[in-house]
Each structure stands twice: as C-alpha cells, then as structure tokens.
Structure 1
Amino acid sequence: MYFNRDQISDEQLIAFYKVLVYPRLVEEKMLLLLRQGKVSKWFSGIGQEAIAIGATLALEADEWILPLHRNLGVFTARQMPLTQLFRQWQGSQQGFSKGRERSFHFGSRAHHICGMISHLGPQLAIADGIALAHQLKQEKKVTLAFTGEGGTSEGEFHEALNVAAVWDLPVIFLIENNGYGLSTPVSEQYRCNRLVDRAIGYGMKGMHIDGNNLLEVYHAVKEAATYARQENKPVLIEAMTFRMRGHEEASGTKYVPPALLEEWAKKDPVSNYEDFLMHLGLLSGEDLTHIKQEIKSQIETNIAAGLSDGPILGNTAAELADVYAEDSSTLNKGTNSPNSSIANADNAIANIARTNSACTPDNNPGGPATEKRLIDAIADGLRQSMEIHPNLILMGQDIAEYGGAFKITDGFVAQFGKQRVRNTPLCESAIIGTALGLSLSGFKSMVEMQFADFVSCGFNQIINNLAKIHYRWGQAADVVIRMPAGGGVGAGPFHSQTNEAWFTHTPGLKVVYPSSPDDAKGLLAAAITDPNPVLYFEHKALYRSISGLVPDDYYLTPIGKAKLVQEGSDLSIITYGAGVHWALEYAQQHPQLSLSILDLRTLLPLDYEAIKAVVAQTGKVLVLHEATLTGGFGGEISAWIAEHCFHLLDAPVMRCGSLDTPIPFAMELEKNFLAKSRLDQCIRELAAY
C-alpha cells in the first residue's frame, strides 16, 4: 500500500498512528466485553478505521460531522471521553443520552457531532441545513455526512445531494462502500460501476479513493473541504473498504466468501500504516508495542470507571420534562399533559366563566385592530415573525416570487430577500431535514407543505428526527411546518386530508390547529417562537371564507390552551378547525339548544383542564372533527373523558367524524363524507339521551 506523506511531518505521522490505533484497541476491548456479557450489542468498524480517522483529522474541530454505526474513530478523534462513551454504550444515565439511546445514536454540540438514526438516510439532509447555516453566516466551513453503499439506495440520498447541488452548499457526502448492506452484496444494491459516478448527475465534484489508506483519505477529504469552502459547492466521495465483521456481532459473516475476507485482511488499515512507519524508520516494532500498551492501559482505566455505575433508575418526571426543549416564552411554559393537568382541572371548572375569550385573542397587545381573513392573518403573523426573528428562514415549493400555492408569502422576497425566503426542489423530506440542520446552527425555520397531504413524503424526518432529537440528546428542533389542510373545496383524495391524527401520538411534536384569524396570527407567532417542532394546520376552506378583528401589533397566543367560544347548559361540543364554525352555525340555527363550544386550538399538548371544565358544565359531550372517525383525534379525547370525568357525565361521550373513506372529489360526495353532514343527527341523539 502506497502512502503519500506530502506536507505531513514525522511528528504528525506518529500522532496520526496513535489516533488510528486507538479505536481499534477500544473495539477489541468491546468485543471481549461482549463475549463476557457486559455489553449487549456492538457494531464493529474493524478494518474501516482509516475513513473515520482520516476524515476527522482533515476537518477543523468546529466543523460538523454526521457519522454512522461504525465510525467510532470520529468520536475518539474528536476526543470524546471514553468513560462517557462507554456509559453511552451501556445505557447509563451518565451517558450522552441519559440511557435513552444506544451505541452511536446520539450527538454532542460541544464536539460538533450529530448522531444518526437507524433509518440512515435522513441525516444527509441535516448536513445540508448545517451547511446552509454556514453559508447564511458567511462562514467558510464545511459539513461532512457519512453514508454506506446501502444508504445510497434510499430516496433521502438523492434528495439531500440534489438540494446541496441546487443550493451550492459546502457539504462532503462520504460513502463508505464496505461491500455489504448487512448481508446484501453491492451486486444487488446498485448497477453503476462506481457510486461516485452519480456525482456528475448532480453537477458536483466526485472523488474515488482507497478507504483503507489513512493518508489517502486524509488528503482527499482535505482537498474536498478546501474546495467546498472556497467554491461553496458539495463533493461526493466514495471510499472503498470492507466490513470484516458482521453488520453487528450477532449477524456474523457466514454469507461472505472466505477468500474475500482473506483479500481484505491484507489491506488492513492499521497494520499497513504500521508497516509504513517502520519502513520510514519512525517507529520500531518495540515502539508500536509500547504505544499500544499505553493506550490499552488508558482504555482499561476508563472502562473500569464506566463499569462502576449503579443500575439505571426510572424517573417519570425527568423523562417527561425532556420531551420538549424549554421555551423561553412565558406563554408556552407549563403546557399540559395527562399527568399534570388532572389535579388542576377542578380550578378550571370554578373559573370557567373567565375562559370565554371569543372576541379577543389571548395576550391582546391592545392598540388598533383590522378586519382580516384567516389567510391574511397568517401572512401578517409570518411577516411580523420574520421581522422579530432575523434568524428565521422560510422554505417551501414556489414560496418565493410566486408567493406560494395560496399566496401567503406573496411579496416576502421583495421584503426579506431570497436568502431567507427560499424556493425548494420537490423534496419534502430533504427540506425538513435541512430545517433541522439549520436548528443545530441556531436558526429558526418554517417549512410550507404545499398541501398537508404531501407531508407523507417527509414523515420519517418529522417522526424520527424532529420529534425525538431533544429527548435523545438535548438538541432542539426549532422548526414549524405549515400544513394547508382540510376538505370542502372539492380537491379530492390527495389535496383535502386533515391529517393531524398522524402526529398527535408522537411525543416531542406540538400540533396546532387554529380556527379564527386572531388565533391564526397569534398561534403562528407562538409556534415560531417555540424551540420545538410544531405542526401548524391551517384550513384551506377557511382561508378566504372567514374574517375577524386581528390586532395589528405582534402578539403570541399560548400553545396548549383551549378557548371557550360559547357557553351553554344543554351539551358541550369539543372541536377545532372547521368544526368550530360548523358548531357555531348549528348553534345559530338551533337557538332552542344551549351549546357550549370549546375550541381546542392545540391538539398536542392538549388542554385537559379546559376539557374537564366544559364536561362539568353540561354533562353531555360531543367531540367533533373533520378527520375520519376511526383513528381520529376524537377517540383520544373521548377516552380521556371516560377515564377521568366519568362522574361528571350524564350521557356517553359521542364522536362525530367524517366517513372512513378517502375524501371524494365530487362536491356532493364530499359533503356526504364530511362530519358536518352527520352533526345534526349526533346532537339530536345526545340531547335526547
């Protein structure tokens, strides 16, 4: 194996060796502990160390790296304490993720490392977001994201590389081509001769290197980083290597031909580099042994400290407290959960008269107010938020000069510029991942789904990246996703869903669904202020059909607080979105019935105190929503009322939802589909109980 030591001193060559052999010796210790039953699982990177080490050494210490299972060398080269790393692998509360994650599924801001998720591909787009942040700050920094040859088959790979290319982002995408995706060989993974050949299709620089040659990796990544920083462009590197052990130890390597293992054993990155150093006369065999003994001694000391930890103890309060990042806004503190709000519900019953705020928004700033449609209130809230938060970036399909599908961002480019109001390619997943990457670098972002239906293309990023990242390693996901939703406009099955229930059972997300212009403005501003991921639903049929007085000044409406729209004594309707207007219309048409109408406004976290209060007010409850009945959010509300408010009920809780079918296109079929068509029947049945 030829090593090019160009511009690398003797001292550096020896230092490189110590950094290279360290993770190999750690792994050997971990495999021993695995056999002893002291470690539950291990993903071995033996034989691949040169890629992680060479790449990390080539970057600056404050440039972000997004590694995978077998990149122990990234963590050790960034000098993460081995004792805490071992605690992480053991699931200790003193690990980086407090026992909530395993192996390398965690990150550390201090070390500029972003942890992976098991889905592999989604981390590539996060690198786009970090690189975009550097670009916006005019910092000459590069971001490096690892993937395997198997990961290149995922759509996430294509989306992330395409966005990086289109936006000229300084990202290095490094493919570790180790021959197998678990047991699937590359011959069954792709048909191109070399994966790096795909670079030309994205319009980016490509490099093909020997991943087992430490200095070749180092020089290549250094060259790529210099290019990316200077030219503000991405680079794709394919590093050829081999996985000498199983995908994880339990899977073994029986599917690998023995001759192939023998061939790659001769290319071992550690032993070959040792031969190189001895050939130069920099180290003798005795020197190598001495270095290894010193490192092994350090490893034993660190591992012993990690093994001394006591058993992990569950703490419900601590677990719940870490689901969301702390919000600096007082309006969003103390949001409700089923565990915290029951004790306070009786106070809410006593004070229910004071919760009626149908005419004015919460925290009304006073001053002038203007009659606005829902769509104008949303645009107003978004525009003022852009003025309040100079670190807020808007992203979405056609949102720039065109102004978005519904014209909410019309004129924003002229006011805020194309750096902050960004058209995106058709890649919902990559853009949501990019938003998370921006969050890692201190930016806020708003992603507009052209229609809420299209969010399914970004589902993985929302459910597994945005929602879980704070709980996993304390990183906030400061992202708002605007979701134009709902039927009543004859748009058919793919442009009419109200799909909030997809997200309400995912801890870590917040789900907001305003029904009035004043709430739409205040809740959007609050969602953008909140450091947690917020799904902000806005009903398309209400955009231009309803209006109301909206304060001209900037204000926040608290997330997690319902609003009593109307008080009554006969029965209560708990609803949100378009359902609020259906309920109000019904009340006006049936003055003989005294109806309480509670607008939830926020579905996650839910205002259990307000729900209990409105149940107590009438003893009869109808939960109304536009989503289909089965699996709709009304089921959760009904179950909670039955469990906690049974003594307050005079009748069973009833639900009124839309048909359990896709949403039809023809207007008459859609009217029949919507829950509104069954509202009268449900109310009559409940009133007569």
Structure 2
Amino acid sequence: MIPKIEFNKKSLKEGVLLNLYKKMLKPRLIEEKMLILLRQGKISKWFSGIGQEAIAVGVTLALKNDEYVLPMHRNLGVFTTREIPLYRLFSQWQGKMNGFTKGRDRSFHFGTQEYHIVGMISHLGPQLGVADGIALANKLKNNHKVCAVFSGEGATSEGDFHEALNVASVWSLPVLFCIENNGYGLSTPVSEQYKCKHIADKGIGYGIESHIIEGNNILEVYTKVNELAKSIRNTPRPILLEFKTFRMRGHEEASGTKYVPQDVMDFWAAKDPLENYQEFLKKEGILSEEIEVSLKEEMVHEINKHLKIAFDEEQIVPNLKTELNDVYQDYVYKEVLPSKEQKKIRFLDAISEGLYQTMEKYDDLIIMGQDVAEYGGVFKITDGFIEKFGKERIRNTPICESAIISTAYGLAVNGMKAVVEMQFADFVSSGFNPIVNLLAKSYYRWNQNADVVIRMPCGGGVGAGPFHSQTNEAWFTKVPGLKVIYPAFPQDAKGLLIAAVNDPNPILFFEHKGLYRSVYDDVSENYYTTEIGKAALLREGSQITVISYGAAIHWVLKALEGYTISLDLIDLRTIQPLDKETIYQSVKKTGKVLIVQEDSLFGGISSDISALINENCFEFLDAPIKRVASLETPIPFNKQLEKQYLGKERLKEALLDLVNY
C-alpha cells in the first residue's frame, strides 16, 4: 500500500497555500508543453523535473528574492518562481538572443544576476563550491543572507561534494545544500552510488546539521526550509538537506525509464506532488474546480503567448567581432606609474609587497590558500599579513584545490575579489575543472566576470622532483578566457600582480620558485601597475630575435656572457594575451628567431609562437625558427638528471648555431 502524503498547513494563510499551488502548476504546464514540442522536433532536448516541482518551488519561495539560488537541470520551478519572463526562458532554450547566454549555452546552463540565480555546468559538483563562495561573501558582508545550492544524489559521489561540505563546515558558511535524491544517477541506482542508508548521513562526517525532507510534500519543503533559512540568517552555518523524491521522466527524454521497475514508477506516480496537493486544497475548500480551470487557462495562455514571442524571434546571426570580444570582460587598463623611490629586494619580496599593497587598496579582496595565514605560506609570501588583515581576509584552506577555486568564483559572483595561492603549481591539477570550466567560460557564457587571480609557484632547477617542479603554463594558454602571466624580474612581478588583481578577468600568475630568493632588483616602493599583455624588450640588436619568459630569460642572459651577439631579447612577461606586435616587429628586423622555454618542447607556448611567426613573417625569415626547451620527460629529482632535463644546457649551442646559420 502506498502511503499518502500528509499535509500540515500549520499557520500558513490561504493566500500562501494557494500561491504554493500556483508556483508548482506553472512549471508542470510548461514541462507538458515542452514534451509536446520535443516530439514535434521544435526543441532539441529536455531535462524533465516532473514529480520534483515541490522542491524547487518550496526552496525558492523560502528564500528572499535577493538571496542566491544555484539550480540544476530539473529545477525549472526555481526560474519560474523568481518570475523570469517566460519568453526569455523559451529563447534561452532555443539559443536565441533574448535568452541569457547569447545562444552560447543551452537549457539551464545559465545564470542571471538580475534574478540572483547562478546556473550550473555539466560537471555538477563545482556548483557546491560556488555556493560556498557566495555564502562566504554574505558572511563577510554580515548581510544575514543565506544561499541554496541544488544537486542530485549522483553528484554526491563526486569529490567536489565532499570538498564543498568540508569547507562550508570549517568556515561555518550560511548555505543550504539541497540534494534531490530521486533514486537514480541517470540509470545507476543509489545502491551503486553509496553504502550509507541516507545521503543526510554524510553530514555527520563533516559536523554538519542535516535533515531528511519529504520532497513531494510542498508544505513540508516550504515550512522546513523557511524555518532553517531564518535560523541560518541569524546563526550562519551550513545545513545538508536530503529531499526524498523521484523524477517521473528519464535523465533526459532520450534516456527513457525502462531501467526503473514498474512498481517503483507506480509508487511515485501515486505520490505526485502537484496532484496530491491539489486534492488537499480542494478538501480544505481553498481550491475549487472553477479556480483550477481558470488558473490553468491563464497559464496556458501565458505559455503560448510567450512561446510565440520566442518562436518569432529571429535566429542569431553570427558576428565574429562580438564572439571574440566577449571572451574577456572589457577592461580599461589604468596605469599607475612606478615611483623613483626604489629599494633592492628579492623576487619573493616584490610579490609579497604587491600583494600587501593590493590588500590595503581593496577591502573586498580575500587571500586563500594552504598555510597562508599564521605560517605565511610555504614560501613566506604572506608572512605577517594576518596581523594586518586578520583571518577573515587571509584564510587558511583545507587541502581541496577544486572547492577553493570554486569558492573564489563564488566570491566574484557575489561582488568580491579573490587571490588563491596554489602551494605548488603542480597541485593545480586537483583544481583544473573549475578553472577551465567555471572561471574561463563565465564571462563568455553569461557575462559574469570571474575576478580571481591564482598564484602558481612553479619551475625546476631546485631539485624538487616530478610533483613540485613543473612549469605548466601550457595547460592554460590553450583555454580561451584565461590570462596567463609569467614575470622574470621583481619590478615586473610586483606591477603585474597588482594589475592582475585590478583586472576583472581570471588570471594564472606564475612565479618561478628558483627566482624567489636568487634574483634581486631595484623595485619601486609605491603601488604601481605594469600593463598585462605587453612584452619587454630587454636588449636591442640586429642579428637575431630571442623570445623567452620566466626563469628561461635568465638562462639566456647567462648564455650571452662573453659573447658580443647583437640581438633583440624579448621578455614576454604575459603569455596570454600574447604581445604579437612586439614579436613581429623584431622578427621582421632580424630575420632569425630563437624561442626559449623551460617547459618540455611539444605543445608548449614556443610551438604556437613559432607557428604565428611562420604564418605572419615567413618572407622575412633568413633561417628556420629554432626552439630550446626541456626534455619530453617528467622532471626528475636527481641533480644531474635535472640538469640534463632542463633546456638551459642546450641553449648556448642553439644560439650560436642560429647566429652562424
């Protein structure tokens, strides 16, 4: 026997009770229409939330309109409850301009600051970390706001789920983790996803309060979430909510539901959230047949009207300039000149000084990373920062790169800035997903900037072995939307780091560990900027152009000792965007090119620079382009093996061969 849903209206007024019904009815009617359009071939794909409307609607209504909600595929009720005009939703699903992504992303993969909604990416798990960042910003602003993030039972198997819950718990963040447990991750049953009886049990391991809620009971969802949201606003903390529910359609329509036993389908069909609540309201005398028919007619008319607007809207005409210009947020660089007052300091000190002065300028800037607070970071870049700025702004993080980078993105969404220190650049592999799929694509997808700088201590020559020595900039120069900076000198490092924090786009800032304490420079004492995307011409000559960056610049300078070669030495400083103009001007003058990088040869930035020169300056070349790089092996620990690995040992010969060609 199927248990009936027991509704308890408590002290809710009739207007609220009826509004809950209206808010569930609209997404149901939209979905029914979408399924018809799908069969007619008028839309390409649909992720159905039929049977789960009570959760999206109940949670959204329990929050204030200026509190962020982070929904998933099947949470149409979030969007309709926030009263987004339907024609905009329909345009979004058809890839038209009145949608939210200019046709660049589909269905529910979008966000909108106007309605305080942050849309998902298909990787699911990082969404939870973004909620951490939004909640952290709320807590730091002391604005007594909560945010809610949705996920399914399948995503609770992802590492990002565990990382996000742990961060939220350690930092007491005001966030509701709303897990819709519908029994299947696509076709995989929960028995093959986890061993514990309830997802709510997972909260125990993180010291998080958790609750199990009947997800098909709109009154239970709304009243419980409303109660918890009020509590969290006064006493910030994370709460894990497991909503027991079921999706009556497939993962998406093409998947079907044949893998679900019929008795399970029958059980949940009898627990339909809309039909059961509708019956309850009629018994209570709140909803009549006349009101029901009237509401449906009104909503169907609204749906058809807005569908016509969307269908009549013209298709997007591709514009190459628009597409390319929207990869980065437009940013007008403001130059702040360096002072004549200088002091001779190390590379490490210049970065520390730049960070410190930037923290003084921006009250909303947060530094996050492993051991960055009391310990001052493993390289002591943030040593002493905590005494000046406090633990709220200089935040030690758990060892969870993915969640922390997602958190940094959430801070940006909620109007703050973040600098994240990777303890070693090698460790960024654990946070690769949010960098390339959240930060890089954010502005292009929905005009949301990702005001995040990720500091990357990198490089070899210090005997640190395969996991602490990589110079992995090429992992990111391939990804549109990221900027990559790699300075070689202290004066540049300070100015570029300050400029990076000013820039609203996501930036990977590489700092070679071997330069930290070995390279000194006269560095301006003031807060100043160095323009991103502009190379530096360190030497001028006529015989050859040498292009390099980072520690490899110092290889070149060392190799030139004792030789009188007339050359242009270009320090790229920024690898993405690349200063092509400076490169081309030099190549056209000298006719010979040597490109030097520390990274292994294949697939590195030197390959692209070589290709660009061939395509744009071929007729000016007097010799084949030469590249010097490290061996195509992982970087070894042994001193002699590392010496053999690094391209530094092959540089002088390559340089002389090219000069004499």
Is the shorter-chain TM-score for this pair beyond 0.5, marking a shared fold?
Answer: yes
8 Å Cα contact 1:364/1:551 also seen in 2:
no
1:590 maps onto 2:594 in alignment:
no
Alignment of 1:81-480 (within 5 A): 81-331=85-335, 364-480=337-453
Q: How far apart, in 1, do the equivalents of 2:465 and 2:19 lie? A: 64
Q: Which amino acid aligns with 2:27?
A: P
Task: Report what 2:592 is aligned to.
Answer: 620
1:329 to partner: Cα distance:
2.9
What is the alpha-carbon distance in structure 1 between the residues aligned to residue 588 and residue 639 of structure 2? 38
Q: Does 1:655 align with 2:655?
A: no
Q: CA deviation at 1:11?
A: 1.2
Q: Percent identity at matched positions?
A: 59
**AA paired with 1:144?**
A
Once residues 338 and 380 of structure 2 are traced to their aligned partners in structure 1, the CA distance between those partners, rounded to angstroms, is 27
CA distance in 2, matches of 1:498, 1:193: 45
Structure 1 segment 421-570 matched on structure 2, within 5 A: 421-570=394-543
The equivalent of 1:643 in structure 2 is 615
> 1:424-448: CA deviations, max 9, x gaps?
0000111111101110111111000
Q: How far apart are residue 7 of structure 1 and its match? A: 2.1
What is the CA–CA distance in structure 2 between the aligned matches of 1:600 and 1:328, rounded to whole Å?
21
> Quick one: distance in 2 between partners of 1:364 and 1:232?
43
Q: Which residue of 2 aligns with 1:352?
A: none
Deviations 1:50-72 (A, max 9, x none): 00000001111111000000000
Match of 2:640 in 1: 668
Give the aligned partner of residue 344 of structure 1: none
Give the C-alpha shift of residue 90 in structure 1. Answer: 0.3
Deviation at 1:481, TM superposition (A): 0.2
Helix, strand or coil at the partner of 1:589: coil
Match of 1:341 in 2: none
Distance (whole Å) between structure 2 residues aligned to residue 384 and residue 648 of structure 1: 45
1:617 Cα deviation from its structure 2 partner: 2.3
CA distance in 1, matches of 2:562, 2:421: 37
CA deviation digits over 1:654-674, x for unaligned, max 9?
111100000000111101100
Q: Aligned Cα RMSD in Å?
A: 0.9
Q: How far apart in 2 are the matches of 1:521 and 1:238? A: 47
Q: Among residues 31, 35, 38, which one is paired with 1:31 in the alignment?
A: 35
**Residues of 2 paired with 1:287 and 1:94: CA distance?**
32
Conservation of the 8 A alpha-carbon contact between 2:544 and 2:592: yes
1:522, 1:555 within 8 Å by CA — same for their partners in 2?
A: yes
Query: CA–CA distance in 2 between the matches of 1:671 and 1:227?
Result: 60
2:333 and 2:531 in contact (8 A); partners too:
no
Task: Give the distance between the partners of 1:328 and 1:616, measured in 2 at CA.
Answer: 30
Partner Cα distance (1:33, 1:206) in 2: 40
TM-score normalized by the length of structure 2: 0.98
**How far 1:201 moved relative to its partner?**
1.1
Letter in 2 for 1:162: N
1:589 to partner: Cα distance: 3.0
Do the aligned residues in 1 keep the contact of 2:137 with 2:414 (CA within 8 Å)?
A: yes
In structure 2, distance between residues paired with 1:283 and 1:126: 40
What CA distance in whole angstroms lies between the structure 2 residues aligned with 1:365 and 1:632? 33
Instruction: Give the deviation of 1:286 after TM superposition.
Output: 3.1
Asked whether the equivalents of residues 227 and 233 of structure 1 are also in contact (C-alpha less than 8 Å), the reply is: no
- Partner SS for 1:208: strand
Q: Which residue of 1 aligns with 2:606?
A: 634
The alpha carbon displacement at 1:258 in A equals 1.5
After TM superposition, give the deviation of residue 93 of structure 1 in Å: 1.9
Counterpart AA for 1:617? K
Amino acid at match of 1:587: L
Q: Deviations over 1:263-317 (max 9, x none)?
A: 1100000000100100101112232122111110111001110000122211010
Amino acid at match of 2:585: A
1:686 and 2:658 aligned: yes
Distance 1:521 1:161 in 2: 35
Deviation at 1:15, TM superposition (A): 1.3
SS in 2 for 1:664: coil
Matched length: 657
Structure 1 residue identity aligned to 2:321:
A
What is the DSSP-based 3-state SS (H/G/I as helix, E as strand, rest coil) of the residue aligned with 1:438? helix
Please state how far the C-alpha of 1:328 moved relative to its aligned partner. 4.1
Correspondent of 1:14 among 5, 14, 18: 18
Measured in 2, the distance between the counterparts of 1:572 and 1:287 equals: 80
Deviation at 1:259, TM superposition (A): 1.5
The answer to whether the 8 Å contact 1:88/1:99 transfers is: yes
Contact 1:131–1:170 (Cα < 8 Å) also in 2: yes
User: Would you say the 8 A contact 1:44–1:70 is kept in 2?
Assistant: yes
- Using the alignment, how far apart are the partners of 2:625 and 2:273 within structure 1? 67
CA contact 2:51–2:245 (8 Å) conserved in 1: yes
- How far did residue 104 of structure 1 move? 0.5
The CA deviation at 1:253 is 1.0
Q: Is the 8 A contact 1:327 1:530 kept in 2?
A: yes
Question: What residue number does 2:48 align with?
Answer: 44
Stretches of structure 1 lacking an aligned partner (at least 5 in a row): 332-362
Q: What are the superposed Cα offsets for residues 603-646 of structure 1, whole Å, 9 maximum, x if unpaired? A: 11110101101212211001100000011111010011001110
Which residues of 2 match residues 59-78 of structure 1 at below 5 A? 59-78=63-82
